[in-house]
A and B are shown apart, each in its own frame.
Chain A
Amino acid sequence: MELITLRGIEKTYQMGDIAVPVLKGISLSIRQGELVALTGSSGSGKSTLMNILGCLDRPTGGEYWLDGQEISTLAADERALLRNRKLGFVFQSFNLLARTSAIENVAMPLSYGAEHLSEREARERAEEMLTRVGLADRLDHHPAQLSGGQQQRVAIARALINHPPVLFADEPTGNLDSKTSEEVLQMFERLNTEDHITIIMVTHDPKVAGHANRVIRMQDGVILDDAPPVAGSNPKTPEGAP
């Protein structure tokens, strides 16, 4: 099933009088359950594409269908609701609320949802999510008391709290050492294979891209290459190969 379909997506930034085209007609489709890596050098437009996919930004032209809904024309508030229900975000710098316990960080998106959960239900759901990412014993720890890997796992639990079909990860391992990076990526793979969550990650690291089952390479606002990862680039995880 096609979860995401882009048709001729364009994005042009207006810098004074000069129009700077960043995305020059991107068309692609992503099916449910795919683990996609979006790569490219800096300035290639991958972050812009990510923002559009993540409904944080609107394209200047083209169509964006997400889960059977055309959303490139939605208003800001409608996009916010969509982000809450259907999308999860994981950031390079974790973006956890400081001096706030892990469980409260995870439960935070629930307060913006349409479904009004009680305090207790929200806590239970957050606890369940943290257990799922292996932090059942760190519920009341503050971000400062957690390691980088643990923080990113809290961030993943937060992204998954509303059971979104799509998870966006922007350089999820950028601030982590190689060992914890590996853990986080393995968690992504598990979420992808066991829970069939579609994961789209932006990375410039070929080793990270190697964990994906599809790599989209971008350059100068167009898709350069859309293929399974090059075999051998990630010898540790051979199951990434088709």
Chain B
Amino acid sequence: MMLYTTARTAFRTLRRNPMRAMLTTLGIVIGVGAVIAMMEIGAGASAALKKTIASMGANVLVVRPGTASSGGVSFGAGSTTTLTPEDSQAILRECPAVRNATPMVRARTQVVYGNRNWVPNAIYGTTPAYLDVQDWSILAEGEPFSDRDVLNGNRVCILGQSLVRELFDNESPVGKEIRIKNIAFRVVGVLSPKGANMMGFDQDDVILAPWTTIKYRVTGASLSTANQSTSTASDAVNSLSNLYPTAQRSLYPEQSSVQQADNPMPVRFANIDQIMLAANSSAEIPLAVDQITGVLRERHRIRAGEPDDFNVRDMAELTRTLSTTTKLMTNLLLAVAMISLVVGGVGIMNIMLVSVTERTREIGLRMAVGARGKDILRQFLVEAVVLCLTGGAMGIVLGHGGSLLVRFLLKWPVETSPTAIATAVLVSAGVGIIFGFYPAWKASRLDPIEALRYE
């Protein structure tokens, strides 16, 4: 008997008892539906979880200058002054594994508003790309400063939530002016709250401003020089509102313009304290580290065999958490899917066994008119597979509908997964064959005489 005819017969037989067929399929419908819904909701949850962990900085890499030493005295990490904003641009341009990069200078000083003052954990001079790197693009209020602000060294800033609390008593600070080292900054935006990081460091206790403004107007020096007892201010430019001089008193007598012309100082590029980068994904972090190292070594003219004058660091702990969580979620989903399908399969087997008993006489008759054991086996197997595939199709619709409903009603992230659908179809057919085999085999082993006499 040809498979097509068998399938037709199976359909007809199933149509003869639609109620039983429906009940049988229900197990698979629910099983496959549960699998699809779980896979889609789970994939969405997994993606959201990954995103959350990534927002903690799992994809973030930090490039810091290496150690300088002089006469056996090491100046500690970040004391060379070779890292430039152009390095940051070059990395972004030349490393495909890097999504975004931003140069950063740091300061730590008093901030004043009205009669209140506060020393934030960090004042970061950076570019708008920092918000993207840190996954912090959604502001609580206002808007970020622009690249033009960075170019012009405009005195604008974004405040963290802790500063709003300390300086503004939770009133809106947007449009107001705060003073950092007596330089007035207009507040253009407020960061959304982020809380403490894994080290207990309050991430909301921060001010962001264009790095040019911080470097040239506030610190007047990079951190590396500020760390040292000698202040060799690299840039003499100062703020326009130079009410109180910010630069430290020079140790050397001031040169006249003639002296300066006679003894030109080597032109120094602006050095920055660190470059913060985001890799495309946590999987691409090692690749990104390689590319960054290559680019920087070339730009810094470091010969082969010589040590780097910079360090690239990743958030290894977070990355590990991320991969563990992802694996855990995948396994959880797999376990749930397997259980639902086994339950559905056992349901199919039960009803098929009942069906074999109920149709004993039919089997006997079919054998009497010439059906061989394998014909009966095939008929019942095809019936089970047809049931399972129909149930699988209905389950896909149901599961997908369910996950869409979850998305609309609960606003949960949901990801449509074609793999899950393909797997569900294959698995439901597989379940049909595996769990349909025993009843079909039982039917094929019936003795036609006994079967015909069965009441």
Chain A: residues with CB nearer than 8 A to chain B?
51, 54, 56-57, 76-77, 80-81, 83-85, 89, 91, 95, 97-100, 104, 108-109, 111-113, 116, 119, 158-159, 162
Neighbour of A95 across the interface among B371, B375, B452, CB < 8 A: B452
Residues of B within 8 A of A104 (CB): 12
**Cα separation A109 to B372 with both chains bound (whole Å):** 12
Please classify the interface of chain B as helix (H, G, I), strand (E, B), loop, or mixed, using the class held by over half of its residues. helix
List residues of B (354-380) whose CB comes within 8 Å of A's CBs.
Answer: 361-362, 364-375
Flag whether B5 is at the interface (Cβ < 8 A): yes
Q: Which residues of B contact A99 (CB under 8 A)?
A: 16-17
Count of chain B residues with a beta carbon within 8 Å of a chain A beta carbon: 25
Docked Cα-Cα span, A51 to B438, in Å, equals: 28
Are B449 and A113 in contact (CB-based, < 8 A)?
no
A56 CA / B365 CA spacing, docked (Å)? 11
In the complex, chain A residues whose CB is within 8 Å of the CB of B365 = 91, 95, 97
The reply to whether A113 and B370 form a contact with Cβ atoms under 8 Å apart is yes
Known pairs A80-B370, A89-B369; list 20 more (Cβ under 8 Å): A56-B367, A57-B449, A76-B372, A77-B372, A77-B373, A80-B372, A81-B370, A83-B369, A83-B370, A89-B368, A97-B362, A97-B365, A98-B16, A100-B16, A108-B369, A111-B1, A111-B5, A112-B375, A158-B369, A162-B370
User: Which 10 A-B pairs have CB atoms at the shortest separation, nearest pair first?
Assistant: A84-B370, A109-B369, A99-B16, A112-B370, A80-B372, A95-B365, A77-B372, A112-B371, A83-B370, A89-B368
Take A99-B17, A100-B16 as given contacts and tell me if A84 and B2 are in contact as well, using a CB distance cutoff of 8 Å.
no
The residue in chain A whose Cβ has the minimal distance to the Cβ of B448 is: A56
Cα A111 to Cα B449 in complex, Å, equals 21
Chain B positions within 8 Å of A91 at CB level: 365, 452
A75 CB, min distance to chain B CBs, angstroms: 10
Query: Contacts A97-B362, A104-B12; is A56 near B449 (CB within 8 Å)?
Result: yes
Interface bits B439-455 vs A (CB < 8 Å: 1, else 0): 00000000011001000
Query: Chain A's nearest CB lies how many Å from the CB of B17?
Result: 7
CA A99 to CA B366, docked complex, whole Å: 16
Closest approach, in angstroms, between the C-beta of B283 and any C-beta of chain A?
55
Q: Which residues of chain B from 172 to 231 have any CB-CB distance to chain A below 8 Å in the complex? A: none
Complex Cα gap A85–B368 (Å): 11
Minimal beta-carbon separation of A125 from chain B (angstroms):
14
